[in-house]
Amino acid sequence: MRKISSIIPIILLFAFLSGILTLSCSSSMSIIEEKDERFELVNEFKILTPRGYNPNTQLGNFVEKWDKNNELFSDSLKRFFISKHISNANFTKATKLEPGKLYTVKIFSIKEAVDSKECLSFIRKQNYFGTNAQGLSLVLEYYKHEVPDGITLSFDEKNSLFESLGDLWVPNISFAKSELIYRFNIMPFSDIKNIHDSWIVVDGEIYPLLIYIICFSD
C-alpha cells in the first residue's frame, strides 16, 4: 500500500505536465495556423506623430506644403501627383492618430492574389489598424524612405473610407523611386481583387509595381 500511495503523486504530476504540454502544443499549432502565407512582412518602423498634429486638418496642411512651398520633396522629383480627392472633407471618418504619440508601422507585401476584404481581415488579425489617407500622409512626409517601390495601400474600416460614385475608395502611395515618381492617389475598394502586382505609365513608359499594405499599432 505504501508503494502504491507513493506512486500516485508521481502519476498525478505526470498527468498535470502532460496536460500543460498538450495545451502548449495546441496553442503553438493555432499560432501556426493563423499565419497567412499570402502576406509577408517587409518593413517595420516607428513613427512619432508631431505634437501639433491635427487629424482634422492634416491632409489640407499636407497638400498646402506640397502645392505652395514644395517643402516636402526637394530631391529633384520628376513627377509628384496628389489626387484632388485627398482632402480633409473626404476623410473625416478616418481612424484618428493622436498627436505626440509613438506608433509601430508595418508594411506587408502581397505574395498571392487577394481582394480588399481579405486585406482588411488580415490587418484585423494582426491587431493593427488602418489609418486611411492621414496615416499615409505622415509616412510620405517624414518617412518616405521606409516605403518600398510599389503601391502601398492604406485600408481602414469600410465605414471610414471615402465614399463616392457608389464605391469606397482606398488611399495609396505609388513609388517608383529609381525614376523619382511619387503618386498619392485613391483606388476603388471593389476594384481591389486578385491583386498581386500592378504598374503605372508615365510619358509612355511602363513601371512595374508590387502591391503592399500598411497598418499601424499602438
Cα–Cα distance measured from residue 131 to residue 41, given in angstroms and rounded to the nearest whole number: 18
Task: Express each pLDDT in 110-127 by its tens digit.
Answer: 888 788 888 889 988 888
Query: In the Cβ-directed half-sphere of 99, how many Cα atoms lie within 13 Å?
Result: 9
Task: Please tell me the total count of domains within the chain.
Answer: 2
Mean pLDDT score of the chain, rounded to an integer? 76
pLDDT of residue 104: 94
> Is the same domain home to 23 and 88?
no
> Is the same domain home to 45 and 27?
no
Residue 87's domain spans which residues? 37-217
pLDDT of residue 99: 94
Question: Cell numbers of 128, please?
Answer: 493593427
pTM of the full structure: 0.75
pLDDT of residue 28: 41
> Is the same domain home to 88 and 138?
yes
- The count of residues in the chain is 218
Residue where the block lists cell 486638418: 57
Residues of the chain falling short of pLDDT 70: 1-34, 67-79, 177-181, 193-209
> Is the same domain home to 95 and 188?
yes
pLDDT of residue 195: 58
Task: Express each pLDDT in 45-68 by its tens digit.
Answer: 999 999 999 999 999 998 888 766
> Is the same domain home to 16 and 63?
no
> Is the same domain home to 19 and 91?
no
pLDDT of residue 177: 65
pLDDT of residue 81: 80
Residue 113 near residue 39, CB atoms below 8 Å: no
pLDDT of residue 66: 76
> Is the same domain home to 49 and 22?
no
CA distances from 156 to 36, 121, 150, 162, 213 (A): 19, 11, 19, 10, 11
Question: Cell numbers of 205, please?
Answer: 513608359
Question: Cell numbers of 2, please?
Answer: 505504501
